Amino acid sequence: MDATLTRVRDDVFRRNPGETEFHQAVVEVFETLEPVLRKHPEFGEAAILQRICEPERQIIFRVPWVDDAGQVRINRGFRVEFNSALGPYKGGLRFHPSVYLGIVKFLGFEQIFKNALTGMPIGGGKGGSDFDPRGKSDAEVMRFCQSFMTELYRHIGEYTDVPAGDIGVGGREIGYLFGQYKRITNRYESGVLTGKGVSWGGSLVRPEATGYGAVMFVEEMLKTKGMSLDGQRVIVSGSGNVAINAIAKAQYLGGKVIACSDSSGYVVDEAGIDVALLRQIKEGERGRISDYAARRGNGSSFVAGGSIWDAGATVALPCATQNELGESDAVSLLKSGVVAVAEGANMPCTPKAIEIFQEAGVLFGPGKAANAGGVATSALEMQQNASRDAWTFEHTERRLSEIMVNIHDRCAETAEEYGAPGNYVVGANIGGFVKVADAMLALGVI
């Protein structure tokens, strides 16, 4: 990192104390920007670098709600509207007890560049709460969502800020949030949230999009080496929205997914994960991954705790959460002959793990590129809402596929142009950054 980047990085650390995930996300981008600053001195210090690290607006609010026992509960809500140079702020809401400002800012920062890479007119933002939907009744989740939206509604809108789901926020939560928005505003503004149900303004393929897109990205990376997913031994961590759909797509393309997980541990199923059973347990019953091994009845096993990456794979798709794949996991995967890794989750691989993969010549797809299919399909949902139209599954999936191929190619070409052929981290960071920086310069000092 050159002197300018180091100075701005130190300034970010000083101005945002204790926000370690945000620091990590900034450093990951800055480490690839030196050649950009040489080519574009106009992006220097205050002009772009400092400005792009400072959110345009950060909203923090109290979320009071009443649980089933009649007790008042208090959570904290966040919305960080990070950058709107390319379009309205766009990014999901995360409900998880670990959520605090540093996590929301890391996710919002990543989202700026990811959204730019999709080629769609959307800016970057992110939000959420330290509310934990696990173990709550539907009625409690509804009351929480209604209270959350009672503050959030004044900050969002089709042309302002368009939230969606993320960890802990799926179709049920988006439904309650949209219902409360509609009730408060007395307007059926479909374009204010994405991830809606298909019968009330949602898009086909949106639930599948992030997982499908990540697998499409892997297939494109493998193609560059004359390989494909067919016959690969695959591990997918997590068992939520992204993981389940990544498993489904990877199996469809001939890969054998032998393990998946949740925060309690992982299952190994050498016959290949039964997606229908997994969906039934995790989405239908909101159950635990240990139930899968118990009910599969083919000798598949549940390992409490431990590292899923020790199960050995040639293709690894971390689809659970940040920093879930570290140095020892990367070494373990190398031993099992891993050829490709793609981040379905946001920042799941630690910097050291990424370094190990890249030094070993493993194809590595960073989240900004590999999991961009979700937000891209959210933008397709916005298009359908704006034109009061509803596309078929086939048409929408074809659009998603074209977008993922484009993102892959743009990353590959940008990496080549900046002297790092095959380095998708460089390609994704620079490709996204240059597009946003150009727009920021054009719009003046705002």
User: How far is Cα of residue 21 from the mean position of the Cα atoms in its chain?
Assistant: 14
Q: Binding marks (x or -) toward ligand NDP, 292..321, rule CB under 6 A?
A: ---------------------------xxx
Catalytic: 249? Answer: no
Closer of 123 and 374 to ligand NDP (Cβ): 374
Which residues 96-155 are close enough to bind ligand NDP by CB under 6 A?
Answer: none
Contact between 268 and ligand NDP (CB under 6 A)? no
Nearer to ligand NDP by Cβ, of 130 and 262: the residue is: 262
**AA letter at 329:** D
Taking CB atoms, the residue at the shortest distance from ligand NDP is 240
Closest separation between CB of residue 414 and ligand NDP, Å? 21
Told to check if 263 binds ligand NDP by CB under 6 A, we report yes
> Which pair of structure tokens corresponds to residue 110?
């990543």
Cβ closer to ligand NDP: 77 or 318? Answer: 318
In a 3-state reduction of DSSP, which class is residue 232?
coil
Q: Give whichever of 110 and 440 is closer to ligand NDP, judged by the CB atom.
A: 110
> Distance (Å, rounded) from C-alpha 305 to C-alpha 264?
6
Residues 31-60 that bind ligand NDP (CB under 6 A): none
Minimum Å distance from CB 332 to ligand NDP?
A: 16
Size of interface with ligand NDP, in residues (CB under 6 A): 26
Cβ proximity to ligand NDP, 17 vs 305, nearer residue = 305
Question: C-beta of 2: minimal distance to ligand NDP in Å?
Answer: 31
Q: Is 168 in the site for ligand NDP (CB under 6 A)?
A: yes
Q: Residue 37 has which token pair?
A: 């600053």
As a whole number of angstroms, the distance between CA 382 and CA 54 comes to 27
**Helices first, then strands: H and E counts in the chain:** 17, 12
Residue in this structure with the two tokens 């809108």, named with its chain if needed: 157
Q: Is 213 in the site for ligand NDP (CB under 6 A)?
A: no
Q: Is 333 in the site for ligand NDP (CB under 6 A)?
A: no
131 vs 140: CA distance, rounded Å = 11
Segment 334 to 393, residues that bind ligand NDP, using CB under 6 A:
344-346, 371, 374
Region of 269 on the Ramachandran plot (φ > 0 left; ψ -120 to 50 alpha; else beta): beta
H runs (alpha helix) in 233-341: 241-252, 275-279, 289-296, 327-335
Nearer of residues 238 and 431 to ligand NDP, judged by Cβ: 238
Q: Could you tell me the two tokens for 16?
A: 């945002």
Alpha-carbon separation of residue 76 from 50, 147, 250, 352 (angstroms): 28, 11, 37, 32
CB of 321 to ligand NDP, least distance (A): 4
Q: Which of 126, 196, 249, 256 is catalytic?
A: 126
Minimum distance, C-beta of residue 286 to ligand NDP, in the bound complex (Å): 8
Residues 6+ apart with CB under 8 A from 446: none
DSSP 295-353: HH-SS-EEEESS-GGGG--SEEEE-S-TT-B-HHHHHHHHHTT--EEE-SSSS-B-HHH
Residues 222-261 close enough to bind ligand NDP by CB under 6 A: 237-243, 261
**Which backbone phi and psi does 256 adopt, to 5 degrees?**
-110, 110
Nearer to ligand NDP, 320 or 353 (CB): 320
Enzyme catalytic residues: 126
Site for ligand NDP, rule CB under 6 A: 165-168, 170, 210, 237-243, 261-264, 319-321, 324, 344-346, 371, 374
